[in-house]
Structure 1
């Protein structure tokens, strides 16, 4: 019922937002930049904030068309290599003959589209042959496609890794660190030739008992039945996934915003000043961020509930209780895959120590193949996007992919 009410509200507000955008665009043409049009500039700035305030449910474009390889600019084309109802293995194919490491970037299913990792991919592209898990909005997946839980997530990682082939690498950002580690363990135990050569786990909740954050504590405050009763909704009739149970993306984005409400209010106040003051560079940066941030996707209910219970409440992986289709997941089966864990010093979502717990779980992996890096000054998003990711984290990730030795201070 709540989902239907939310959608009705969105439908009612959409014409107002479109009107605000259109009116602002027309009036902006009469702004000469002189003092006499200052009030007009204030009005158009307010209209833009109103027009861009809505949540969307469509994946924004990645937008990669070219990339620099050395001194040469080469074309980039998005290629859907393998598709299922729940996700696509998307390949950023480059128009070059140079052989590069094949890297699978596993995006989280956490309320945002895979394009949230645009900055991650942008840094990886020049040196690597990059693939990404482009997950489908659950409200667009028909009931006939079946369920999608942790087992199915792991299945997709394995299937995508097999499609990439032997000698590939995998990089998991945030939430998928757990199923990616599980997938690598399952593949290693089965002797799968496509078992990745290296695995990078970035700011992921391997063991949330370590320095619990506010996010971790919230998951512990209620029984799983409470989450199912209060947070799970049914997709309305008008969408392809009508009747499917989901955790709506709008609830997730509302939770994220409420955690840092003052920061978002301040950002919009600054945007108003940018628009009035004519600072187009800062205004464009704000637009790019919120166009992505407010594009949300619904999560399959079974995946969301299983993740809350298995990862955040029962701690199945670190306690040795995790299973895949009923069979134990054994991280100790991993003996050849180089493992790098990356954490942010100021991460308030996944605290330092939660991701590096993976190193101890891979007990039979030689110490020379295991490393941890704590990025100083970085919060959660700074681990995989922005300046610190590009200049300080990625060079270490690159070493893991290439199998190069690490400085001794980075060793676990």
Structure 2
């Protein structure tokens, strides 16, 4: 097979890139090592920046998003037993976020790709990348016991943190930066109405908690836990009891509980690999960087990456210029590091650290008080939360 761009990974980054390239008339093939149902079974967050929604709107695939998505123009910070609302729309000059699950974004992109008759190869085993530092990039994979090869002009690695793309790069050619946080998030998904119409971020002596939602009838809740916790040790009742302890009185009393649809524990880390280009291989999304979910930036960073990459590829094919491709890594990383900083800041401000002393706790309290009472601080939080410009 031959294509212009071989995309590794059928998550939101790969699917969005594929649709953008198709809209620019650039042929592409997507390879995914799992099947479609497996990809859609992944439970992920879903707070979309306006820039991400704008990309989907330009592709004409936001009908379901606009019908089912929840527009949020504020969030609440809970500390000292009191909730404080941050008016994102007012503080950011009119921008908002949309709550719409990452799974639903991926489903919409998959449906659009299938409708357009574009090629996606699922269950592609043993994917390997070849000659991406030379003139004839190739991707090999196995399906149903048969080995296949795709010749291409460029390879886009959108296959996540554990994917084959970054691992194909010589260790000497990549610099990594990492911060592993000493806690995780225990998350529970339930078919219950959200406790609040907006997200509640909680700083509590027992640890962080987050009240979120997927729809008016489906809620997603998290509590900070230690890294050695086992999800099987947590019954639904234990989770609900712990969540109530970390909420204010009104929220605790109005919380509607129910059986979990899914429970899982996610460790938190910040990770960046530089550069994001190696010859004719380009990394995007989680293949290049990971952020803790506190700042709601993971999916949105993937969207900005593929925006930059798709525009650079369009410039290459339409204008015969490689300037955008040459600048891709530096351009993407500027935004990546700002999102890494914001996610680190939110995480540091809202969580309880195992080695925290009285001094650290007082600093957290002062930071939170400053954020909710300073116009400038609220504006900074809002500007980053709704998304920095591309």
TM-score by length of 2: 0.25
Higher relative contact order (CA 8 A, sep 6+): 2
Q: Would you tell me which structure has more strand in proportion to its own residues? A: 2
Query: In terms of Rg, which structure is larger?
Result: 1
Which structure is higher in helix share? 1
